[in-house]
A = this chain, B = another copy of it.
Amino acid sequence: MMQDTSRLAIHTITTKPWPIEEAIDRYAQAGVKGISVWRDALDDRNAAKIGERIRSAGLSIVATVRGGFFPALSEGERQARIDDNKAFIHLSAELGSPLLVIVPGAHPGQSLAESRLQIRKGIEAILKEAETSGVRLAIEPLHPMYSDTRSAIVTLEQANDLCRELEHPLLGVAIDVYHLWWDPNLPREIERSGNGNKIFAFHVCDWKSPTTDFLNDRGLMGEGCIDIPGIRREVEKNGFSGFIEVEIFSTRYWSMDQQEFLGKIVEAYQKHV
């Protein structure tokens, strides 16, 4: 029996060609129940009104995406990033998003150790804002192939360690199968996240074999070699019962008819998640 779509959410970036208003309507018509909103989707919009529109369509706002990117070579730039994250927390609250996904960041001009320190300081610097706004923060470890410019946090172990160090009820992790499927320690670390009630988000797509682009060649679930149902069982065994978010960057899919692509997403979710 195929599962229903009551826990299916989609990231606006997945259907990038659609303006958010169209994404909202189309997702709702297709039986999708949640939406995660990328910041660019809010450009030139009133976030509060977009939030109302999402809720009126019967969709839940799962998260805003993506804050973070704390490492930078100069103190001034690092402060600018922190300020920008605070602004995004406010925007998230206006929209009505309960969660902001944090992509940690990295800079090839400095050591990973230095970037990691700056990430910790950056998160510390915005926790107060998160409290005031009531927005939770999810640290998303990225795949190690993004260690140069996108994330010095590349394993769930590191994200868990950071959560332990900063110990804050509003700070947890986002588990994305694309970034973490290769990790032999993943089951152990999912259990650790679960024990701390830190699994704030669960993202799915697939790793195509071969993958031809570092960024924009992600696959639909079932199209690649990730054991998505297996990882889903692990996160659910460890207490996660939230939305399952489909986040796909794909030049190929962005170039096709988005309504047809949406149909494929729903089908892939029902069969391969």
Which of A104-112, A253-261, A264-272 contacts the other chain?
A104-112
Residues of B within 8 A of A30 (CB): none
B210 with A184: CB separation less than 8 A: no
Residues of B within 8 A of A181 (CB): 112, 147
Residues of B within 8 A of A112 (CB): 181-182, 184, 227
Query: Which residues of chain A from 141 to 190 have any CB-CB distance to chain B below 8 Å in the complex?
Result: 143-145, 147-149, 154-155, 157-158, 181-185
A144 with B145: CB separation less than 8 A: yes
- A108 and B224 contact, Cβ closer than 8 Å, known pairs A144-B145, A182-B147: yes
A211-B210 Cα distance, complex, nearest whole Å:
16
A132 at the interface (CB under 8 A from B): no
Residues of B within 8 A of A183 (CB): 144, 154
Closest to A207 in B: B148
- A144 and B224 contact, Cβ closer than 8 Å, known pairs A108-B209, A149-B209: no
Residues of B within 8 A of A144 (CB): 143-145, 182-183
A224-B210 Cα distance, complex, nearest whole Å:
25
Q: Interface size of A by Cβ–Cβ distance < 8 Å?
A: 30
Residue among A116, A144, A149 with most chain B CB within 10 A: A144
B111 with A148: CB separation less than 8 A: no
Residues of B within 8 A of A145 (CB): 143-145, 211
Shortest distance between the CB of A168 and any CB in chain B (Å):
21
A158 with B184: CB separation less than 8 A: yes
A155-B182 Cα distance, complex, nearest whole Å:
10
Residues of B within 8 A of A117 (CB): none
A73 at the interface (CB under 8 A from B): no
Shortest distance between the CB of A201 and any CB in chain B (Å):
21
A154-B182 Cα distance, complex, nearest whole Å:
8
The 9 closest A-B pairs by CB, nearest first: A108-B225, A147-B182, A108-B209, A148-B209, A144-B182, A145-B145, A144-B144, A148-B225, A154-B182
